[in-house]
A and B are shown apart, each in its own frame.
Chain A
């Protein structure tokens, strides 16, 4: 039966969905975002449910699976420190968005815009005239005792009279239905990129529901962000140089940095990519120095300038503050803006608001008492067990303590801690978060939620993203937990602001890929990126070549010839050993000298042992790491291929029979073909691509030279023709050879095909041609009349390939030819090493006269550099191209 008049306007749950929502329990003492007190639907949900009710249950589940795969394939991750999966933990997205009506959202917007204006005024004042502390609105201790008050930032210019350009707030709804602010993010707010990624995935999964409920687009917001970045440029320019400054791939939100940079069309840089000259900021690129006008900062403010801020920072840009002071660059948000996110501030926000805006604060903060004031401290100590204790100034400094969960002893310990340094602490009220449905085991289940909302400064105010990142607590007891943190493994949802009126339906097209006008700021890739791509190319080729060699060796051993086959594989075996791909005991022996079990063990290790230097799995790890740190330059498809390679290699257990390993390698090598295909066909021919291909070509020539030399050596000892077959196979040239010669593999024809033939894409000569072409187009070649040493080296090798004729009339001449080839291969080996080092010297380590070593602080007068505090270590602990280069060169020793 229909309810009374009260429920008549309320939305109803479509019959098809009743089983799905049947077990949804509305909590007591908590606001529910989905159902009202009478069990009717809240505004917005009815249309959403109508949208998904058109889907069959299997379709929903199928699409959800697809969405999860998309997230994984896109490499959406959130790096959790100290997590088993560590880097690259997949992003958790719930398939049910948090739906909220536009009318209600408008109120949230108004509240947050006002808040942004208050913080903007506050920051301008604290880093300028400091009138608020004189007038007593803000207690002076708030600045003087606050380690986040960055004195060197006092007096920095504020372009467009704005301090706060980006602002985010974590908001939640209390039991009375009012929205509260839990925390403010003014320093380098994160989350907008995840919100965008969630939206892309969510609307691709539920396009019908998006249409049905009038989902408001969020693309406009990103356009505003781009416009703001361009507007704040200190000198008027058509195309200002804009970069996104990230701490690097180990940062928890690195995915977002790479994703945003790509989406906004700006260059992703790390501190070492930038340099300050004459108080101007430049990006070090292959083409030289490029002027930077605007820095979108995602690096913590304390780290940005080791000269004036934290001298231990190795990921900042020395001299940056002075460049800002001279109005040569704008940083968004400027260093110093973190001051406004101090929890202590919440206690004074209402009076600051009425002082600076003459308005009443629209959206309240969670009730907060700052212990730095004696009456407040007394009140806090009185009712400690009902409160949460946090650091007053630095939200990240220590974990909040929930006193109701603490033992009596701990409570008095905490009380003593507060009394000792009262200014360092705030106490906050517990918050009962509202509940919204998430998808659990095929049905809706309630979880506590909070929403991170993003704002950007516009010409005359602030714009709010109509949406944001909703996060929900874990299951069970955690479902009620007042802390929601991605670091602690909570999940995320897309936030759907839905419009009820027909009038705004023109805005309700769902976001597919947001047609957006891209601007390119600095067009050239940082040298660091080229360096990483070069090693990515080398390792990709190494992985493939080693896989091919191992497949030959293992296949032969696993074949019916068994141990009798061992002499056949000697040349490849010793190549693998020489290049460091076999473990110590096996590497030193000839295969024939090993028992069959040792032999099999050695093979298995060479493929799967992650601990063994040079094993296939280890090369793959290096490759993955390089791909990870080059992620913003690789296509999604490339990324997917990399993932698949990893999967194939890990789809094993150690009892695998040898023949099955061969099958795994078959598959692995096939995927490699896809990877090199991506490089050849799907990558724009930028200098960055040239370095990727250079790496590949050099490595291929290098491995072929080693393999060839080993074959020559063993052939002299009179081994079987399998050595030649396997050389052809490892170089993927068997078919070409058979087409060309009717007889079986013979030494000189094989060498001709794999070393000197300029039309065989696997030959050394072919690699040299490619390398020469790449080098010719690189910037340094244009400025040197005789080219770099690298180029000269290649030219001389090429001349030899073009003038060698391997024909032999008799055994004596054949002997002489062999000698010549052996010498040439030796030359190739050493030249390739020299070329690689030369490239590193010219393009990577010394860019425009600057070496790669990281900046370090000068020692003080007492003669010692300060020890590095813990937090800094966590931040600076990162992959450097140096490490990668060393790893790569190991084999050449």
Chain B
């Protein structure tokens, strides 16, 4: 297909345990989503030790979730997925003809059904995204009266990129948003959470997107951050246009460089691998992501 990109992604997650695990149950949000300019052509998952079965179901947000359980003693767990995904470039490029931002909160709030009503769900605080008056203060300057919605979001994305420093040592998944805002440091997940909080406080629906980003730059372009790990960014809802994505970590509008894996309210809804283990104290986690372009 003309103007399309194809990638192969290998994603490895490995847990090593000091103390053996005797039983474990896991959920994994690792299969890329199809739709909106993205086609998943192939997907496979391999788990070591081998579970009796890897089953799947579809979660509340429409993501496919893999389930597996282990009943034998093990001191490490390895999950490897391989995905082949095609992306259509002109998706997302349509952007900037968006309505005045003020109309958006009202429209989703009063929607009686359809996409707008569903989007309304993404205007509320969620477990990882709390509200604070400072976030609203931060957001307001980008949305003066009459500003087209996506233009405002774009400006905000740029500003976050400028104000916050990428620093993988600064935060963990447990770091509260207030600390991220105070220190102005963090990783993609923190920036996405922060931008979502700002938007939601204004009544603009915003959701969390997890996925992969191409890190090997095309000739002449800068290398994108987020190498060798999963990535996260933001999607904003605009009635009539649907969801448009923004990547505050790299200050780009994701297009054919980003592969979407799952959508949720925040990280907690779609963390790539989660689980409950019996035993298994002293966990160490290793993650490796390789994203290879198969065609230009």
Residues of A in contact with B (beta carbons under 8 Å apart): 133-136, 140-141, 143-145, 151-152, 154-155, 275-279, 306-308, 311, 318-319, 322, 325, 849-851, 853-867
A276–B25 Cα gap in the complex (Å)? 9
Q: CB-CB < 8 A to A867: which residues of B?
A: 174
Establish whether residues A318 and B120, one from each chain, have CB atoms under 8 Å apart when the complex forms.
no
Establish whether residues A308 and B27, one from each chain, have CB atoms under 8 Å apart when the complex forms.
yes
Establish whether residues A144 and B121, one from each chain, have CB atoms under 8 Å apart when the complex forms.
yes
Check A853/B15 contact, CB under 8 A, given A140-B120, A858-B274: no
A278 nearest CB across to chain B (Å): 6
Whether B273 sits at the interface, judged by CB under 8 Å, is: yes
**What are 19 pairs between A and B in contact, CB < 8 Å?**
A134-B117, A143-B121, A144-B120, A145-B125, A151-B269, A311-B274, A319-B25, A849-B72, A850-B22, A853-B279, A855-B276, A855-B277, A856-B281, A857-B275, A858-B26, A860-B267, A861-B271, A862-B173, A862-B189
B223 nearest CB across to chain A (Å): 21
CB-CB nearest in chain B for A130: B117
For window 187-201 of chain B, which residues contact chain A by CB distance below 8 Å?
Answer: 187, 189
Check A307/B27 contact, CB under 8 A, given A136-B112, A861-B271: yes
Establish whether residues A278 and B283, one from each chain, have CB atoms under 8 Å apart when the complex forms.
no
Whether B171 sits at the interface, judged by CB under 8 Å, is: yes
A277–B173 Cα gap in the complex (Å)? 30
Q: CB-CB < 8 A to B60: which residues of A?
A: 151-152, 154-155
Check A307/B52 contact, CB under 8 A, given A859-B285, A862-B174: no
- Please indicate which of the listed interface residues A133, A140, A849 has the most CB atoms of chain B within 10 Å of its own CB: A140
Whether B155 sits at the interface, judged by CB under 8 Å, is: no
B86 nearest CB across to chain A (Å): 27
Establish whether residues B112 and A862, one from each chain, have CB atoms under 8 Å apart when the complex forms.
no
CB-CB nearest in chain A for B69: A319
A355 nearest CB across to chain B (Å): 15
Name A277's contact: one of B71, B229, B273, B287 (CB within 8 Å): B71
Residues of B in contact with A (beta carbons under 8 Å apart): 15, 19, 22-27, 52-53, 55, 57, 59-61, 67, 69, 71-73, 112-113, 117, 120-121, 123-125, 171-175, 187, 189, 229-230, 267, 269, 271-281, 283, 285, 287
Establish whether residues A856 and B276, one from each chain, have CB atoms under 8 Å apart when the complex forms.
yes
Establish whether residues B272 and A861, one from each chain, have CB atoms under 8 Å apart when the complex forms.
yes
Name A307's contact: one of B53, B117, B274, B281 (CB within 8 Å): B274
Q: CB-CB < 8 A to B229: which residues of A?
A: 861
The binding surface of chain B is classed by DSSP as mixed
Establish whether residues A856 and B280, one from each chain, have CB atoms under 8 Å apart when the complex forms.
yes
Establish whether residues B276 and A858, one from each chain, have CB atoms under 8 Å apart when the complex forms.
yes
Q: CB-CB < 8 A to A154: which residues of B?
A: 60
B145 nearest CB across to chain A (Å): 21
Establish whether residues A134 and B113, one from each chain, have CB atoms under 8 Å apart when the complex forms.
yes
CB-CB nearest in chain B for A863: B172
A306–B26 Cα gap in the complex (Å)? 11
CB-CB nearest in chain B for A318: B276
Establish whether residues A866 and B276, one from each chain, have CB atoms under 8 Å apart when the complex forms.
no
Q: CB-CB < 8 A to B277: which residues of A?
A: 855-856, 858
Q: CB-CB < 8 A to B279: which residues of A?
A: 851, 853
B4 nearest CB across to chain A (Å): 30
CB-CB nearest in chain A for B131: A421
Establish whether residues A858 and B15, one from each chain, have CB atoms under 8 Å apart when the complex forms.
yes
Establish whether residues A858 and B27, one from each chain, have CB atoms under 8 Å apart when the complex forms.
no
Establish whether residues A863 and B285, one from each chain, have CB atoms under 8 Å apart when the complex forms.
yes
CB-CB nearest in chain A for B275: A858
Name B22's contact: one of A307, A849, A865 (CB within 8 Å): A849
Q: CB-CB < 8 A to A322: which residues of B?
A: 25, 57, 67
A867–B176 Cα gap in the complex (Å)? 11
Establish whether residues A849 and B274, one from each chain, have CB atoms under 8 Å apart when the complex forms.
no
A431–B227 Cα gap in the complex (Å)? 61
A318–B275 Cα gap in the complex (Å)? 9
Q: CB-CB < 8 A to B274: which residues of A?
A: 307, 311, 857-858, 860
Name B71's contact: one of A134, A143, A849, A851 (CB within 8 Å): A849
**Pairs A-B, 10 closest by C-beta atoms:** A862-B172, A860-B173, A862-B173, A318-B276, A864-B172, A151-B60, A319-B25, A318-B25, A858-B275, A144-B121
Establish whether residues A861 and B278, one from each chain, have CB atoms under 8 Å apart when the complex forms.
no
Q: CB-CB < 8 A to A862: which residues of B?
A: 171-175, 187, 189
Establish whether residues B276 and A306, one from each chain, have CB atoms under 8 Å apart when the complex forms.
yes
A849–B73 Cα gap in the complex (Å)? 8
CB-CB nearest in chain B for A145: B124
A441–B24 Cα gap in the complex (Å)? 60
Check A311/B276 contact, CB under 8 A, given A850-B22, A861-B285: yes
Q: CB-CB < 8 A to B15: which residues of A?
A: 858
Q: CB-CB < 8 A to A135: which residues of B?
A: 112
**A-B contact sample (7 more), CB < 8 A, given A853-B281, A866-B174:** A140-B117, A306-B276, A311-B274, A318-B276, A322-B67, A861-B230, A864-B174
Q: CB-CB < 8 A to B61: which residues of A?
A: 151
A277–B55 Cα gap in the complex (Å)? 13
A849–B72 Cα gap in the complex (Å)? 8
Establish whether residues A860 and B117, one from each chain, have CB atoms under 8 Å apart when the complex forms.
no
Q: CB-CB < 8 A to A152: which residues of B?
A: 59-60
Establish whether residues A325 and B57, one from each chain, have CB atoms under 8 Å apart when the complex forms.
yes
A374 nearest CB across to chain B (Å): 11
Q: CB-CB < 8 A to B24: which residues of A?
A: 318
A140–B175 Cα gap in the complex (Å)? 30
A873 nearest CB across to chain B (Å): 16
Name B121's contact: one of A140, A155, A856, A859 (CB within 8 Å): A140
A276–B70 Cα gap in the complex (Å)? 11
A726–B132 Cα gap in the complex (Å)? 74
A838–B123 Cα gap in the complex (Å)? 57
Check A860/B172 contact, CB under 8 A, given A276-B25, A311-B276, A851-B278: yes
A620–B277 Cα gap in the complex (Å)? 36
Establish whether residues A278 and B276, one from each chain, have CB atoms under 8 Å apart when the complex forms.
no
Establish whether residues A133 and B271, one from each chain, have CB atoms under 8 Å apart when the complex forms.
no
Name A864's contact: one of B53, B173, B273 (CB within 8 Å): B173
Check A307/B276 contact, CB under 8 A, given A850-B22, A859-B285: yes
CB-CB nearest in chain A for B265: A151
A308–B26 Cα gap in the complex (Å)? 9
A597–B67 Cα gap in the complex (Å)? 69
Q: CB-CB < 8 A to B269: which residues of A?
A: 151
B16 nearest CB across to chain A (Å): 12
Q: CB-CB < 8 A to B121: which residues of A?
A: 140, 143-144
Q: CB-CB < 8 A to B280: which residues of A?
A: 856
CB-CB nearest in chain B for A423: B124
B190 nearest CB across to chain A (Å): 9
Q: CB-CB < 8 A to A861: which residues of B?
A: 173, 229-230, 271-272, 285, 287
A791 nearest CB across to chain B (Å): 25
Check A133/B117 contact, CB under 8 A, given A851-B278, A854-B278, A862-B174: yes
A134–B280 Cα gap in the complex (Å)? 46
Establish whether residues B172 and A307, one from each chain, have CB atoms under 8 Å apart when the complex forms.
no
Check A307/B25 contact, CB under 8 A, given A860-B172, A861-B173: yes
Q: CB-CB < 8 A to A863: which residues of B?
A: 172-173, 285
CB-CB nearest in chain B for A846: B22
Establish whether residues B22 and A851, one from each chain, have CB atoms under 8 Å apart when the complex forms.
yes
Q: CB-CB < 8 A to A849: which residues of B?
A: 22-23, 71-73
A809–B24 Cα gap in the complex (Å)? 66
Q: CB-CB < 8 A to B124: which residues of A?
A: 141, 144-145
Q: CB-CB < 8 A to B276: which residues of A?
A: 306-307, 311, 318-319, 855-858
Q: CB-CB < 8 A to A319: which residues of B?
A: 25, 69, 276
A136–B120 Cα gap in the complex (Å)? 14
CB-CB nearest in chain A for B283: A859
A850–B69 Cα gap in the complex (Å)? 14
Q: CB-CB < 8 A to A325: which residues of B?
A: 57
A136–B269 Cα gap in the complex (Å)? 27
Establish whether residues A850 and B278, one from each chain, have CB atoms under 8 Å apart when the complex forms.
yes
Q: CB-CB < 8 A to B22: which residues of A?
A: 849-851
Establish whether residues A866 and B117, one from each chain, have CB atoms under 8 Å apart when the complex forms.
no
A319–B71 Cα gap in the complex (Å)? 12
B171 nearest CB across to chain A (Å): 7
B187 nearest CB across to chain A (Å): 8
